[in-house]
A and B are shown apart, each in its own frame.
Chain A
Amino acid sequence: MKLAYYPGCLAQESAKELDMATRYVCRSLGIELVEFPNFSCCGSGFVDEANEVLNIAINARNLAIAERAGLDILTICSTCQGMLTLAKVRMQDPAVKGRVDAALKPLGIEYRGTVEVKHLLRVLTEDVGLPAIKAKVKRPLQGMKVGAFYGCHLLRPADEMQSESGEEPHSFEDLIAAVGATPVDYRGRVMCCGFPILFVKPNTANSIAGRQILDAKAHGADAMATPCPLCHTSLDAYQNQAGKEVGRRLDMPVFHLPQVVALALGAAPEELGLSRHLVRTDGALAKVHSTASA
């Protein structure tokens, strides 16, 4: 399988560990990543707020790059996934397409809308398939209870994102179970991490993140895992602030989705940049060892 790799900004910057883990997983499962140094940032939802048509055009350009190469796009961020998909949806409106085409055509860029935009979660669960992943698991993560945290833009609006469900997805939990860990069911798994207002009203944003972490904790999670580096920022990098807002020490390790898979495929923590997390992950990993040796 060959895909146009759209890492997004954070995986190339503050969430480099996400890129490391993605490459490990793809290498192990025979997914070839084709890189395009001309991909731009997706606008992260903020450009959409400031100028909708501009945001569509920026992403139509990204889509056209993969289209020219005849490849579907692989995203590793719920927000990138959402913004690229949104551009595809909005470009179906002839009025919007007319305005965007008028900006792209003079640059020799043609957008036809033929590529699919797939998040790694979907590629792993639908294209690779859980049985194939299970067959490659070297170290089942038995004993570790993991709360999936989806990230809004991967799921909603469900009709536009063509997601499995806006409020009741299960593919991430299926994947967690496939690598031997125990998925935790909690309401917060489909809630917001607070990131979009982290720079608008930090206290409110942190309190929203804190609520979801507390919810995962109350349902017995040893760790959380997310397919979105923006959620990871809220849940991990800002966890101490989130804890202050909810008045509790949270101590919740937060994995990136491919880190969980890579660990089960046999990766060492150093290969996955786990030491770059703000909240230590060894407590959660110890659960795996203790159960495996018990």
Chain B
Amino acid sequence: MAAGTVSVPFDIYRYEPGKDSAPRYQRYTLTLTPHTPVLTALLQIRSEIDPTLGLRYSCRSAICGSCAMQINSKSRLACETQVGPEFERHGRIVLEPMRNQPVLRDLVVDQSPFWREYHKIEPHLKLDPRRPMPEGKPTPMTPAEVERFKETPRCIACAACYSACPAAEADPSFPGPMALAKLYRFAVDPRDTAHDERLLRIQPNGLWLCLRCHLCTEACPKDVRPSERIRDLKEMAIAVQGGTEHGSKHAVGFKENLKGAGQLHEMKLVRATFGLGGMVGQVGQGIRVWRKKPEIMKRPRPIDGLDELEKIYEALDPPPKEGP
């Protein structure tokens, strides 16, 4: 083995639906320098060992977003992930297709679920027809207005966030991190005139299924931080509509609940979110928990200095303005 190289075993997911009865993992071992990108290793496997290996790639420079896959269970771009640290940590490199999208062949997935959600949010400027953009003239924005987009324009639509998302995995009605980050980008664009409509349309299943687990933010190769923009959208949606969905009701209800004693009143919160009627469905579970943990019914002891908390609320959480 040449100096500075390591022998790296790759276990690669192989499956062609309709042809193979079940997925299998095929091992290829390569001698590589630690800084070799995973994509380079894959191309070497394909050109020197096995031309049947299915993979998708294009630019090799973390710009096109084509080569996202699972590398040792993390959703990553193969072109910018080096083999060294992965091998060091896991002793091998397991490569699997992205999650939450059906496999077409080996490491190639059908991205239609991801793009379907992207198109649903209508990712384009919606202008007021009564106030068309002046033809041939730019529509300037201030630096502060551009700053509000935050990191969202960097997105390369690689779908790594969608692959990492446990909400998308459990509930296909969730649009996924990328679509929502893109929605945010238009919801703060001063030229767009459909802000409120965008926010209302995405509720309830759109926004409030986000688990704020931040797995998307870890997976994103461009630091778009989708989970943090989804948080922004939630606050914006509450400002437009108040607490009307289960999700927004729960967030607003929690905020109010905390003001009461400075500590959570568990049962009161459940009632605020589900309403008395909705609680009927929770009765069986409630009794099961109460038998073991009777404290769930208890009113919490108010904290010392509750007045300080009340003053903080007065200063930073003024009651919503009366509508017209």
Contacts and interface: CB of A to CB of B under 8 A. Distances in A.
Contacts of B170: 194, 204, 207-208, 211
Interface in A1-47: 9-10, 12-16, 37-41, 43-47
A50 B211 contact: no
Given A44-B264, A192-B215, A278-B292, A201 B209 contact: yes
Contacts of A197: 167, 208-209, 211, 247
A58 interface: yes
Interface in A207-245: 207-208, 211, 237-238, 240-241
A241 B250 contact: no
Contacts of B228: 157
B103 interface: no
Nearest to B250: A199
Given A46-B251, A237-B289, A192 B296 contact: no
Interface string A92-122: 0000000110111011010000000000000
Interface residues of A, number: 65
B300 to A, nearest CB: 7
Nearest to B205: A201
B60 interface: no
Contact of B316 (A54, A107, A152, A199): A54
A209 to B, nearest CB: 10
A207 B209 CA distance: 13
Contacts of A278: 288-289, 292
A130 interface: no
Given A103-B312, A197-B247, A52 B255 contact: no
A187 interface: yes
Interface in A40-84: 40-41, 43-54, 57-58, 61
B20 interface: no
A28 B204 CA distance: 48
A191 interface: yes
Nearest to A233: B289
List of 5 A-B pairs having minimum Cβ-Cβ separation, nearest first = A156-B214, A46-B254, A103-B315, A192-B213, A9-B264
Contact of B250 (A54, A102, A168, A200): A200
B300 A52 contact: no
A152 B211 contact: yes
A138 interface: no
Given A156-B214, A167-B74, A46 B255 contact: yes
A9 B213 contact: no
Contact of B308 (A109, A157, A200): A109
Contact of B312 (A41, A61, A201): A61
A50 B293 contact: no
B131 interface: no
Interface residues of B, number: 68
Contacts of A276: 292-293
Contacts of B166: 191-192, 194, 208, 211
B231 interface: yes
Interface in B243-262: 243, 245-248, 250-252, 254-255, 258, 262
Contacts of A15: 293
A104 B102 CA distance: 52
A103 B311 contact: yes
Contacts of B250: 46, 199-200
A158 interface: yes
A143 interface: no
Interface in B154-175: 166-167, 169-171
A166 interface: yes
Contact of A107 (B205, B214, B300, B311): B311
B218 A167 contact: yes
Interface in B279-324: 285, 288-289, 292-293, 295-296, 298, 300, 303-305, 308-309, 311-313, 315-317
A13 B300 contact: yes
B270 interface: yes
A14 B296 contact: yes
Given A106-B311, A187-B73, A16 B293 contact: yes
Contacts of A155: 214
B238 interface: yes
Interface string B64-88: 0000000011100000000000000
B274 interface: yes
The residue among B228, B274, B296, B305 with the most chain A CB atoms within 10 A of its own CB is B305
B187 to A, nearest CB: 16
B263 interface: yes
B222 interface: no
B270 A199 contact: yes
A196 B235 CA distance: 16
B218 A156 contact: yes
Interface in A160-213: 166-168, 187, 190-192, 194, 196-197, 199-201, 204, 207-208, 211
Given A158-B218, A190-B215, A196-B210, 12 more contacts: A40-B263, A49-B212, A50-B243, A50-B248, A50-B255, A57-B312, A61-B309, A109-B308, A157-B225, A167-B74, A197-B167, A201-B208
